[in-house]
Amino acid sequence: MTSSPTKDVLKTLYQHAEVVEQTRRDGIIVPAQDASQASVGALRQANALRPAGEDGYRLHPKLRDFLNDHLQLFPAYQTLAEIGSRISQAHQLWNDVDDLYRAKDYSAVENIVETIESTVFDIGDSVERNLLYLHTLLSTRYGNVRTLEAKKSQNRFYQREANILAQDMSRMAGVFDKIESEATARGMPELAKFVRMNLQAHLQTWQHAMAEMQAQLSREIFRIRQVEDSHKHLARLDLLMRQQPSWPGFELDPSVEIPAFLLAARLPDFVPQIEPQDTDHQFVEAMVKEVAALPPQPVEPQPKEIKRFKRVVDERPVKKKSDAAIALDRLAGAAKRATDKFSLAEWRETDDLAKTLQPHIWLGFAVLALREQKYRVEVVSSPARPGERFRHRFHDAMVHPALVAGAGKV
């Protein structure tokens, strides 16, 4: 197994765990009196102990904070974790991204992004630690002080710390909103998503919890002021009694008349204890009343008749064919039975329904319909008009029988 500085430090802490625990508990230890010189020297070499005075040593503050957080041990005036400097660091680093982009130093931009992500984690951990610490203090009602003056001092201290933390959280919201929006605009969606998930998603919950704790602190300070006023009045009365021991007290002149509401007051009605085996008529009547007061037995409701619905579907109206459609069906039948080609104009003269349409309308309608049914139809063009070279009109069409249907259209 290879050795490394990290492993060496952890191994030293493990080997001298008793000295570390004693230093955390006592605050300062003296070599050769509280611990051996070898243990102190090894922990000094690992930078786990710091000098305290001429002969004493104290625990490294970061290591002490880590152990206190793990054990949830909070001193009476434990300072909240400061996040303002980390917010300023993230803001300054993000402002440097513009210069690095213009210089095309993309490796430095990646390093800045990694630093910002690490700062986001540190800020989130610090806020969670501060909220846990304040919640613990509020739930235990500041149980680590003994006097009223210490209680007032502690309340003022944490009210000031809570206000600073609330201001830093408001500034944090503005700074990281800017970073998230500008990262999205610059084509850095991974950083924007990271900020949203690890900071902005929890920000509203943190601010709400912070507001509740500030309100609780204000109520606690107000309550302490009331207690202080009560103590002052009690102390003044005690001083008065000590200075004038013969003072008979406050003279009262109570009225000899009894108030009407005292005379009108009476005890509630006596409710006898019911015994089922007792044959006394008083208890029997009480039992009868109790039975009569019982709710009636539930009666199963009769099953409701299920309404059945019959779906009525209106018959679709049969659309009546027009005369032109009937004439077209007749024309298709004639083309199907025909053995030789025939003229549409001549056929029209033989059908009474086809005559109801004008000749040019019938001719165009019949040509399109028969070609749609794959019949071969050849139009008979009219001669060109005077002064024209091409023939644009036709006056008749020849329908070929069904045996030759499907040939090319003209």
pLDDT per residue over 276-312, tens digit each? 565 666 667 777 888 888 888 788 888 888 888 778 7
Are residue 97 and residue 231 in the same domain, yes or no? yes
Sheet with strand 56-59: strands edge to edge? 28-29, 56-59, 49-52
Phi–psi pair at 60, nearest 5 degrees: -60, 130
Are residue 88 and residue 195 in the same domain, yes or no? yes
Q: How far apart are the first and last CA of the chain?
A: 95
Are residue 328 and residue 355 in the same domain, yes or no? yes
Cα distance between residue 223 and residue 345, in whole Å:
112
Q: Which of 237, 256, 287 is the last residue of a domain?
A: 237
DSSP character at residue 308: -
Tokens of 289: 């009343």
DSSP character at residue 200: I
Are residue 89 and residue 51 in the same domain, yes or no? no
- Residue 142's pLDDT is 57
pLDDT at 28 over 60: yes
- Residue 74's pLDDT is 55
pLDDT at 41 over 80: yes
CB neighbours of 362 closer than 8 A, spacing ≥ 6?
A: 324, 327, 344, 348, 354
Are residue 212 and residue 130 in the same domain, yes or no? yes
Residue 255 lies in a domain: no
More confident residue, 223 or 390: 223
Nearest to 356 by CA among 381, 325, 379, 335: 325
Q: Binning pLDDT at 50, 70 and 90, where does residue 2 land?
A: low
Q: What count of other Cβ atoms lies within 10 Å of the Cβ of residue 338?
A: 16
Are residue 154 and residue 99 in the same domain, yes or no? yes
- Residue 96's pLDDT is 85
Are residue 131 and residue 14 in the same domain, yes or no? no
Are residue 59 and residue 98 in the same domain, yes or no? no
- Residue 261's pLDDT is 62
213 within 8 A of 162, measured Cβ to Cβ: yes
Q: Binning pLDDT at 50, 70 and 90, where does residue 10 land?
A: confident
- Residue 406's pLDDT is 46
Residue 261 lies in a domain: no
* 249-261 residues labelled b (16+ CB within 10 A) or e (exposed): eeeeeeeeeeeee
Q: Binning pLDDT at 50, 70 and 90, where does residue 267 land?
A: low
Model pLDDT for residues 42-92, shown as the tens digit of each residue? 888 887 888 887 778 888 878 877 777 666 555 555 667 778 888 888 888
Mean pLDDT value of segment 369-388: 81
Mean pLDDT value of segment 107-115: 85
Residue 312 lies in a domain: no
Model pLDDT for residues 145-191, shown as the tens digit of each residue? 677 777 777 777 777 878 888 888 888 889 889 888 888 888 888 88
Cα distance between residue 265 and residue 189, in whole Å:
77
pLDDT at 368 over 70: yes
Domain with 15 in it: 5-71
Residue 277 lies in a domain: no
- Residue 276's pLDDT is 56
- Residue 405's pLDDT is 46
- Residue 73's pLDDT is 55
Residues, the chain, total?
410
Mean of all residue pLDDT scores within the chain:
78
Mean pLDDT value of segment 356-362: 83
Residue 299 lies in a domain: no
Residue 317 lies in a domain: no
Q: Which of 71, 97, 115 is the last residue of a domain?
A: 71
397 within 8 A of 378, measured Cβ to Cβ: yes
Mean pLDDT value of segment 229-254: 76
pTM over 0.75: no
Are residue 119 and residue 174 in the same domain, yes or no? yes
Q: Structural domain tally of the chain?
A: 3
Q: What count of other Cβ atoms lies within 10 Å of the Cβ of residue 143?
A: 10
Are residue 208 and residue 331 in the same domain, yes or no? no
Q: Is 171 helix (H, G, I), strand (E, B) or coil?
A: helix
Cβ-in-10-Å burial (0-12, 13-18, 19+) of 394 comes to middle
Are residue 56 and residue 178 in the same domain, yes or no? no
Mean pLDDT value of segment 357-379: 84
Phi–psi pair at 317, nearest 5 degrees: -65, 135
Are residue 126 and residue 188 in the same domain, yes or no? yes
Cα distance between residue 115 and residue 113, in whole Å:
5
Q: Which of 237, 256, 281 is the last residue of a domain?
A: 237
Residue 327 lies in a domain: yes
Residue 229 lies in a domain: yes
Mean pLDDT value of segment 9-14: 82
- Residue 408's pLDDT is 39
